Structure 1
Amino acid sequence: MILGATEKTDRYANRAAASLLNYGHEIEMIGLREGQVRGKPIQTGLPELTDIDTITMYVGARNQTGYYDYIKKLKPRRVIFNPGAENPAFERELKEAGIEPIDACTLVMLSVGTY
């Protein structure tokens, strides 16, 4: 799941969505505005989702607080904090909840095969 998804093609969240799809990953996207990336919908709010393995975060730390409980409820295996989204306090909470936080770039991880 991409948190902070956008239709704006110059944004890294959009590039990550396209890249994840190119690599054959199924994605869900949540953003501030509804839209689409390569025909996949961007949802708003806190939609009911299941079977989320990875959340890739493109929301800055000060705007993440409204998602804390939602993310922990989804119980992903890991949350990737892309550059600019790092949040040590929330990362500690995730560890305590058994969710692996990773400070990394989704695009780089995909390109070098570590995603």
Structure 2
Amino acid sequence: MKKKTLVLGASTNPTRYSYLAATRLVNYGHPIINVGLKKGEVAGVSIEKPETIHSDVDTITLYVGPRHQEELYDYILKTKPKRIIFNPGTENRELEEKANDLGIETERACTLVLLSTGEY
């Protein structure tokens, strides 16, 4: 099943995990929305600023550290994804609890590993 995924913290830098995840998600056939601070394009999809609330997102895969997440809480929670993947280094108990309270599943995992093991 294809899962529309919002890559939060998208980067045009090919050494960043968010870049690798966006590219691999597209390679696996998952539609993506790239959201970040800098303009650019990853895997053929433009990076947009965290302004437009998307209503049809299955998964948000998080590549923003906890120090910068608080300003994104509203954006993340209003998107109402089915799940949020907290990639290594993005773990945040407060955001996990807020998401769980709204019925959003949270997972501390690595998107790249989930894709490679067929668990995505």
TM > 0.5 between the two? yes
1:43 aligned partner: 48
Whether the 8 Å CA contact 2:61–2:85 is kept in 1: the answer is yes
Say whether 1:88 aligns with 2:101.
Answer: no
Percent of aligned positions that are identical: 50
Residues 1-115 of structure 1 aligned to structure 2 (within 5 Å): 1-115=6-120
8 A Cα contact 2:53 2:78, kept in partner: no
The alignment partner of 2:116 has SS state of helix
Q: With structure 2 as the length reference, what TM-score do the two structures score?
A: 0.93
Whole-angstrom CA distance in 2 between matches of 1:100 and 1:43: 24
- Aligned residue for 2:41, secondary structure, equals strand
Give the CA RMSD over aligned residues.
0.8
Taking structure 1 as the reference length, the TM-score comes to 0.97
Q: Distance in 2 between matches of 1:63 and 1:18?
A: 24
> How far apart in 2 are the matches of 1:70 and 1:109?
24
How many residues align structurally? 115
Encode CA deviations 1:20-78: one digit per residue, 9 max, x unaligned. 00000000010110100122101113223220110000000110011111111111000
d(CA) in 2 for partners of 1:102, 1:45? 21
Which blocks of at least 5 consecutive residues in structure 1 are unaligned?
Answer: none
- The alignment partner of 2:112 has SS state of helix
Paired AA for residue 32 in structure 2: I
- Equivalent pair of 2:99/2:105 in contact (CA under 8 Å): yes
Amino acid at match of 1:50: S
